[in-house]
Amino acid sequence: MSAITATGLQKTYGDGDKRVEAVRGVDLDVERGEIFGFLGPNGAGKSTTVRMLTTLMTITAGRALVGGIDVTADPHGARRKIGVALQEAGLDLRQTGREILTLQARLFGMNPATAKGRAAELLELVELDDAADRRVKGYSGGMKRRLDLASALVHEPDVLFLDEPTTGLDPASRITVWDEVRRINQLGTTVFLTTQYLEEADQLCNRLAIIDDGRIIREGTPSSLKRELRDRTGSDADPTLDDVFLDATGRTREKLAGEVKEVR
C-alpha cells in the first residue's frame, strides 16, 4: 500500500465567471519510506494540494488516501497517520523544549510517564537534549525548526508533511535540518516535502513532482528528470534541477529568482 495516493484531486473556488480552479486533476502515488518532493512556482496549486492531503482544506473532487485512510471520509483517522510541520513553527516561546513535547504527547493520549519518555526520545533524535530545559525563546532558528520536527513526530506518524522546512535558515542550519530529515526518514517515516530550494529537493528527494497551473507537469527521480532533459535537448553539459524546473514551467531565470527562490 502506498503512503499517499491521490486520484483526480481538484479544488475550485467560487462559481460562474468568478470560478477559480486552483488544483485541476492531480494524481499522486507516494511510496512508503521515501522522501517525496513537491515543487512549483507561487500560485501553482502546491500549497492547496498539501492542505487537502492534510485535511486542512476540503476536496472539491477526486479522492486522497494518506496512510491508507480516506481524508474526506475519515479526517480524524487520517490525522492520526500524519505529522505536519508548517513553514511558521507554532511553538510557545515561554515553554521549554521538553515541556512542549511532553504536552503534545499528553494531547495524543499518552500517560505522564510515557509522555515524558517520548519527549526524551525525540529530543535526542533531533539533538536538542542539551537544550531541552531552556525556554524556546532562546533557541536559534535552526533549533526551533528541529523542535518543530520533533513535535510533528510525537505520535509516530506514518507520513510527515514538511512545508518549506528550511526557509529563512542560514546555510549551516539548513544542512542540519537536512540531516534530521534523513534521520527521520531512515527510521521508516515517509516524508512529503515542499520546498522553494531546488538544491534541497535534489539533495533529499528520492522522487519529486513539479506542479504548475494546478496540474502535475513533470515527475520522476531528480537524476531521471535531468537525464531526460539532457537527452531531449542534446546538451553536452549536465542539466541541473533548476534547468529541469525552468524547462517544465517555461519560466525564465529572472522569473525563477522572483517566484521560486525565497523572497521576503
State how far the alpha carbon of 211 is from the alpha carbons of 22, 69, 201, 205, in Å: 11, 24, 14, 16
Q: Does domain 4-220 have CATH number 3.40.50.1370?
A: no
What is this structure's pTM?
0.86
For strands 61-66 and 4-13, give the pairing.
Answer: antiparallel
25-78 per-position pLDDT tens digit:
999 999 999 999 999 988 889 989 999 999 999 999 999 999 999 999 999 999
R_g of the chain, CA atoms, integer Å: 19
Burial (Cβ within 10 Å: 0-12, 13-18, ≥19) of residue 99: middle
What is d(CA 49, CA 54) in angstroms, rounded to the nearest whole number? Answer: 9
The set of cell numbers assigned to 119 is: 519527549
What is d(CA 208, CA 193) in angstroms, rounded to the nearest whole number? Answer: 9
99-114 per-position pLDDT tens digit:
999 999 999 899 999 9
Structural domain spans, the chain: 4-220, 223-253
